[in-house]
């Protein structure tokens, strides 16, 4: 499955960039409905097909989660290459690319009011949330795919394998008394689609935490009796999420194939395949500077890399300081041979940008991590 070539993977994807370089993947789609974001940016739902099976996909509810949007773009590109027009007689597909365009422009999780749209399902305080729920009520999908990115800290179970793809059929509250068949269908769909993926990918697929969140959109959709699948694109050996984009697109393609070509035997074994997915575990950090000597005290320093759109480069965010051998890391840099830093040279603030000490720069450059910098 080839990626759409005009939009290379990048941490930030704005609606303006998508409109300029990606709209051709929606050739053949019509506008189902549209609205405006808090700041007046257009938000559109596109629809294609006349089939009885209705599928809804939305992306970038969180503005800084672009990899899942790229995966959907690749899916649409692949469907566009499929010359078998009969597929559109069997399915009606509705897509909302970049539900949160204000957050995408600012490269933030939240919308322009500071609201996390994924915690606005019940109250619908924002136009973006109201639009999504109105589409669900008007379009009446049988299936929904809620697309996200997850942090690179997650591994697949008790391994050091990054959870490059995490999947979930959201759960119900204890008070829920409606049908549960649609959740069982979502579980079966995940298990069936995963079982069709090549074996080498399976070690990097996990199951997302199924704790019920009453304000979360996926959980809310499940209570609307829509078979809902949460897709989270996670980390891999490259800070640019090419692998996650590719794997998520492959999963979506297999999921659509299973929906259109149900196989009774596969569906019967699928719940077991879903339950056997290892859970997300918080055991990875992007970079660990091990054995740093600070005023003759030896500690480890874990940092997370976060894209800074203003600098078009990656910031190091200080995550943890101490002896942290309970974390694995994508990159571990041993500072045993580095000179000791004095306490006056040591500056850090947990959760804030970490200024790399000059004495550590040679060790950093030896890892070629600067090659992760990506200019659009």
User: Looking at the predicted structure, is the pLDDT value of residue 368 above 80?
Assistant: no
The answer to whether the 15-282 and 284-372 domains have the same CATH topology is no
Domains of the chain, residue spans = 15-282, 284-372
Q: 90: which 2 tokens?
A: 């069997």
Domain 15-282 belongs in CATH node 3.40.630.10: yes
List the one residue out of 129, 128, 134 whose CA is nearest residue 37.
Answer: 128
Q: What is the mean pLDDT of residues 307-320?
A: 92
Phi, psi of 220 (to 5 degrees): -65, -45
Domain 284-372 belongs in CATH node 2.30.40: yes
Please state the pTM of the whole predicted model: 0.95
List the one residue out of 280, 362, 292, 369 whose CA is nearest residue 324.
Answer: 292
pLDDT, residue 270, reads 82
pLDDT level of residue 370 (50, 70, 90 thresholds): low
pLDDT, residue 369, reads 64
User: Looking at the predicted structure, is the pLDDT value of residue 258 above 80?
Assistant: yes
For 265-291, write each residue's pLDDT tens digit.
666 778 898 999 999 999 999 999 999
User: Looking at the predicted structure, is the pLDDT value of residue 255 above 90?
Assistant: yes
pLDDT, residue 84, reads 67
Residue 99 near residue 128, CB atoms below 8 Å: yes
What Å distances lie between residue 198 and 2, 193, 336, CA to CA? Answer: 16, 11, 41
List the single range of 16-25, 255-264, 344-353 with lowest mean pLDDT: 255-264
For 103-156, write each residue's pLDDT tens digit.
999 999 999 999 999 999 999 999 999 999 999 999 999 999 999 999 999 999
366 vs 38, more confident: 38
For the chain, the three-class secondary structure string (H helix, E strand, C coil) is CCCCCCCCCCCCCCHHHHHHHCHHHHCCCEEEEEEECCCCCEEEEEEECCCCEEEEEECCCCCCCCHHHHHHHHHHHHHHHCCCCCHHHHEEEEEECCCCHHHHHHCCCCCCCCCCHHHCCCCCCCHHHHHHHHHHHHHCCCEEEEEEECCCCEEECCCCCECCEEEECCCCCCCCCCCCHHHHHHHHHHHHHHHCCCHHHHCCEEECCCCCCCCCHHHHHHHCCCEEEEEEECCCCCCCCHHHHHHHHHHHHHHHHHHHCCCHHHHHHHHHHHHCCCEEEECEEEEEEEEEEECCEEEEEEEEEEEECCCCEEEEEEEEEECCCCCEEEEEEECCCCCCECCCCCCCCCCCECCCCHHHHHHHHHCCHHHHCCCC
Phi, psi of 23 (to 5 degrees): -65, -25
User: Looking at the predicted structure, is the pLDDT value of residue 21 above 90?
Assistant: yes
User: Looking at the predicted structure, is the pLDDT value of residue 366 above 60?
Assistant: yes
pLDDT, residue 271, reads 83
User: Looking at the predicted structure, is the pLDDT value of residue 373 above 60?
Assistant: no
User: Looking at the predicted structure, is the pLDDT value of residue 374 above 70?
Assistant: no
Cβ within 8 Å of residue 366, ≥6 positions away: none
Q: Chain centroid to CA 254: how far?
A: 18
- Cβ of 252: how many Cβ atoms within 10 Å? 26
Q: What percent of the chain has pLDDT over 70?
A: 96
Pairwise CA distance, residues 277 & 202, whole Å: 9
pLDDT, residue 180, reads 93
User: Looking at the predicted structure, is the pLDDT value of residue 349 above 70?
Assistant: yes
């Amino acid at each position: 499955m080839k990626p759409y070539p005009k939009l290379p993977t990048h941490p930030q994807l704005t609606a303006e960039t998508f409109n300029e370089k990606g709209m051709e993947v929606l050739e053949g789609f019509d506008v189902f409905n549209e609205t405006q974001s808090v700041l007046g940016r257009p938000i559109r739902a596109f629809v294609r097909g006349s089939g009885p099976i209705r599928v809804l996909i939305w992306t970038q509810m969180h503005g800084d989660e672009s990899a899942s949007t790229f995966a959907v773009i690749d899916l649409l590109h692949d469907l566009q290459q499929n010359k078998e027009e009969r597929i559109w007689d069997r399915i009606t597909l509705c897509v909302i690319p970049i539900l949160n365009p204000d957050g995408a422009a600012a490269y933030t999780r939240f919308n322009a009011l500071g609201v996390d749209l994924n915690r606005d399902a019940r109250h619908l305080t924002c136009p973006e949330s109201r639009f999504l729920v109105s589409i669900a009520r008007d379009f009446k999908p049988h299936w929904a795919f809620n697309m996200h990115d997850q942090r690179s800290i997650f591994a697949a179970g008790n391994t050091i394998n990054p959870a490059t793809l995490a999947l979930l059929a959201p759960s119900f509250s204890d008070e829920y008394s409606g049908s549960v068949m649609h959740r069982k269908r979502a579980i079966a769909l995940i298990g069936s689609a995963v079982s069709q993926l090549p074996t080498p990918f399976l070690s990097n697929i996990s199951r997302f935490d199924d704790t019920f969140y009453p304000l979360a959109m996926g959980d809310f959709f499940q209570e609307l009796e829509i078979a809902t699948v949460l897709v989270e694109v996670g980390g891999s050996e490259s800070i640019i999420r090419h692998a996650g984009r590719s794997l998520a697109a492959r999963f979506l393609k297999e999921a659509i194939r299973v929906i259109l070509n149900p196989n009774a035997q596969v569906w019967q074994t699928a719940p077991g395949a879903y339950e056997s997915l290892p859970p997300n575990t918080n055991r990875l950090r992007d970079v660990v500077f091990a054995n740093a000597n600070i005023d003759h005290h030896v500690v480890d320093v874990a940092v997370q890399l976060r894209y800074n759109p203003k600098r078009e480069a990656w910031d190091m965010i200080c995550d943890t300081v101490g002896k942290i051998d309970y974390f694995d890391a994508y990159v571990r840099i041993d500072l045993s041979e580095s000179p000791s830093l004095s306490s006056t040279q040591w500056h850090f603030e947990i959760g804030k940008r970490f200024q790399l000490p000059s004495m550590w720069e040679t060790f950093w450059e030896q890892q070629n991590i600067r090659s992760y910098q990506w200019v659009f």
